[in-house]
Amino acid sequence: MPPKPKLNTDEILKAEYNYIANTVFQANEDRSRVTSFFLVTIGSLAAAIPGTILSEDNLQGASLAFAGLFLILTILGALTLAQLARLRAAWHESAQAMNVIKDFYIKHNKEIEPAFKWRLKTLPPTDKPFSIANLMAVEVALLSAVTSAAMVYFILLHFVNIEGWVWIIPAVSLPAVFFAQWKWYKRLLVDNQ
């Protein structure tokens, strides 16, 4: 029978810690990329509107096309929020895993405890108010709500003249969609899903 290989537990723990640190970094990078992609997409597609409006004699004729465009942007916003929530949860799970390793080392080396600010009990929550992650999600939810209100406006424009009280419908859809998407973001923002 071959002899058991000798395992260096410090090397295994160091490799695990480095792997987890890389997943934390990657989750943060991915959140930035996802948000940037959404913002560029909205900017690019919305930039087409002034040119179309200026060259179009009858905006009402193109209104369903614009409604479809803004529907797609609203869906992209909801998908971006879902990605942001899951990436924030992945970051949190990775940070928790790093803290398990820290706690192991602290248990065996009490003198290093003051070197660590974040521990399992002091780790920021996934939905920490005013964190970069939450602010990016607010930005995406707000822009997605604006695209939703624009979609409602263009649907209405196709069927009726937008005058007086009719403006209330797109105005009400904006906060309604924002809060619906924010609630969905918060629902997806839990670990272990």
pLDDT at 101: 82
Task: Indicate whether 1 belongs to any domain.
Answer: no
Lowest mean pLDDT among 21-25, 38-42, 47-51, 147-151: 47-51
Q: Which long-range contacts (CB under 8 A, 24 or more apart) does 116-125 make?
A: 120/96, 123/92, 123/95, 123/96, 123/99, 125/92
pLDDT, one tens digit per residue, over 95-150 is 888 888 888 888 888 887 887 777 778 788 888 889 888 999 999 999 999 999 98
Name the average pLDDT for the chain. Answer: 83
* Within-domain flag for 64: yes
**Section 8-33 average pLDDT:** 80
- Whether the model pTM is above 0.75: yes
Q: Is residue 3 domain-resident?
A: no
- Contact status, residue 136 vs residue 185, Cβ threshold 8 Å: no
pLDDT at residue 90 in the model: 87
Give 124's contacts (C-beta < 8 A, 6+ positions apart).
118, 131
- Domain membership of residue 100 (yes or no) is yes
Range with the poorest average pLDDT among 4-8, 17-21, 78-82: 4-8
If one counts every other C-beta atom within 10 angstroms of the C-beta of residue 109, the result is 10
* Residue 176 structural domain: 9-188
In a domain, 76, yes or no: yes
pLDDT digits (tens, 9 = 90+) for 166-192: 788 888 999 999 999 999 999 998 765
Cα R_g (the chain), whole angstroms: 24
Q: What is the per-residue pLDDT for 193?
A: 47
Tally of structural domains, the chain = 1
- Would you place residue 50 in the very low, low, confident or very high pLDDT band (cuts 50, 70, 90)? low
Give a yes or no: residue 4 inside a domain.
no
Q: By the 8 A CB rule, do 79 and 167 touch?
A: no
Higher pLDDT: 185 or 165? It is: 185
pLDDT reading at 51 higher than 70: no
Torsion sign over Cα 135, 141, 143, 145: negative
Kindly state the helix (H) or strand (E) to which residue 109 belongs, with its residue range. Answer: none
Instruction: Look at residue 126 and tell me if it is in a domain.
Output: yes
Does residue 93 form part of some domain?
yes
Q: What is the pLDDT of residues 57-102, one digit of tens each?
A: 566 677 888 899 899 999 999 999 999 999 899 888 888 888 888 8
| DSSP letters spanning 4-33 | PPPP-HHHHHHHHHHHHHHHHHHHHHHHHH
